[in-house]
Amino acid sequence: MAGRLSDPEVMLAGVLEEDDEIRALLVDELHRQRSTLQLIASENFTSPAVLAATASVLTNKYSEGYPGRRYYGGNAVADEVEDLARQRARQLFGSEHANVQPHSGASANLAAYLALVEPGDTICAMRLDQGGHLTHGSPVSITGKLYRFVAYGVTPAAPDGSGERIDLDQVRDIARRERPKLIVAGTTAYSRTIEPEPFRAIADEVGAKFMFDCAHPAGLVAAGVHPSPVGVADVVTFTTHKTLRGPRGGALLTSAENARLVDGAVFPGLQGGPLDHVIAAKAVAFREAMQPSFKSYARRVVANAQALAGALTGEGFRLVAGGTDNHLLLVDLRDFDPELSGKVAQETLDRAGITCNRNQIPNDPRPPFVTSGLRLGTAAETTAGMGEADMAVVAGLLATALRRRDDDAALRAVRAEVRELREQFDPYPGAGRES
């Protein structure tokens, strides 16, 4: 049994045979992931090894504290697991210190704020509607209630695609005027490279600290296809489940000097016991990301995003920032069809078996729940094995579905084609087939 736990089929069929209801739902979800296109930019398919670690007996353990300094007994194994995870994270990113306990990217960001600034302090970060994240000071997030955020955005759109880049002049002006204690770089819907050095220079000029939220490109950074903020930013936060392809979770990287501050912010500052099973899965993912195959994976993710961008442009879509340097693209739907909102596009594509999310574009005339954009990413389908030629097919299916969105038969036909394409690229071959 133990030897077969790496097989997702065992987790579904064996481990859950007692609970028909949840088992049936998990089989449904496996079927959904397998028969529809996964283009959500923040998602990926983990390896069976990451799945197995996440489903391990470490979920039973309580380990408040850090290796060698725990509050409960019985932590010899948990200590080794966390030490291995931290050591691998340090090696993968070339960092002096790693904290692998945050339950999520949001927790990691909150811990960074707790470590670096005081409640009420001013923080300069990217506006949500220009590509920032909720935890970068949205009024509905605890971050927006605890700190005073001042926001920067992107440059105006330009016909040649050279606009909609992070406006560093604006960052500098705001920093000089507002004297923030912390400047945050990092976004959730930005398709271009973010150079950390210019942010560092501005932070130094105004005496601010600098945090880089690397949630999205962490895997690309690990593979060397996006510049690394490690050693440039005071604290780097990231998620382990997006391009890094690990379990759902967060982590922080920092200098040896800031290690105690950051560790104290995570525990006891924010969290109780860590998720040891997830930490084991993070360790597995960090090791996977050190392999040469991961470097080539990351290069293919970017090549696929660029192929998808090119094909969508050919279908009449405008891309925010004129294209992509990373794993995601932001599509402005207005040129394709001024009547089509992001909400209707997302719902239409769901019916056609193409899973993605609506997203605000910079200066979006429509409200956040409606939007004029779609965000697409290639991290998951590249893991499943799709290449650049498949991206052209995907763009064609997506455009057809949106053009014929009022035609049920046409959408059913697209869905059938999607399924046929998708089934050539099974992320979990063999699992759950006979159920």
- Chain contacts with ligand PLP (rule: CB under 6 A): 42, 104-106, 109, 133, 135, 186-188, 213, 215-216, 239, 250
Strands (E), 153-224: 182-185, 209-213
Quote the least distance from Cβ 131 to ligand PLP, whole Å.
Answer: 9
259-266 vs 105-116: helix axis angle to the nearest 10? Answer: 130
Output the residue with the shortest Cβ distance to ligand PLP: 105
Of 109 and 372, nearer to ligand PLP (C-beta) is 109
Cα–Cα dist 6/430, whole Å: 12
Of 109 and 355, nearer to ligand PLP (C-beta) is 109
Of 75 and 357, nearer to ligand PLP (C-beta) is 357
Cα–Cα dist 14/18, whole Å: 9
Quote the least distance from Cβ 213 to ligand PLP, whole Å.
Answer: 5
Partnered with residue 359 across adjacent β-strands are: 373
- CB neighbours of 270 closer than 8 A, spacing ≥ 6? 102, 107, 110, 111, 114
Quote the least distance from Cβ 20 to ligand PLP, whole Å.
Answer: 31
- Find the length of the chain: 435
The one catalytic residue in 239, 324, 371, 378 is 239
- Per the CB < 8 A criterion, the answer to whether 38 and 356 are in contact is no
What number of helices (H) and strands (E) belong to the chain?
16, 15
| Sign of CA pseudo-dihedral 382, 388, 394, 395 | positive
CA atoms within 13 A on the CB side of 80: 4
Quote the least distance from Cβ 226 to ligand PLP, whole Å.
Answer: 13
Q: What kind and span of H or E run contains 262?
A: helix 259-266
Of 88 and 327, nearer to ligand PLP (C-beta) is 327
Q: For this structure, is 248 an active site residue?
A: yes
- CB neighbours of 55 closer than 8 A, spacing ≥ 6? 5, 11, 15, 277
Quote the least distance from Cβ 260 to ligand PLP, whole Å.
Answer: 24
Quote the least distance from Cβ 125 to ligand PLP, whole Å.
Answer: 10
The one catalytic residue in 148, 248, 343, 404 is 248
Q: For this structure, is 239 an active site residue?
A: yes
The one catalytic residue in 34, 242, 405, 422 is 242
Closest to 337 in 3D by CA, of 394, 402, 433: 402
Of 249 and 353, nearer to ligand PLP (C-beta) is 249
Of 110 and 395, nearer to ligand PLP (C-beta) is 110
Q: Could you list the active site residues? A: 62, 64, 213, 239, 242, 248
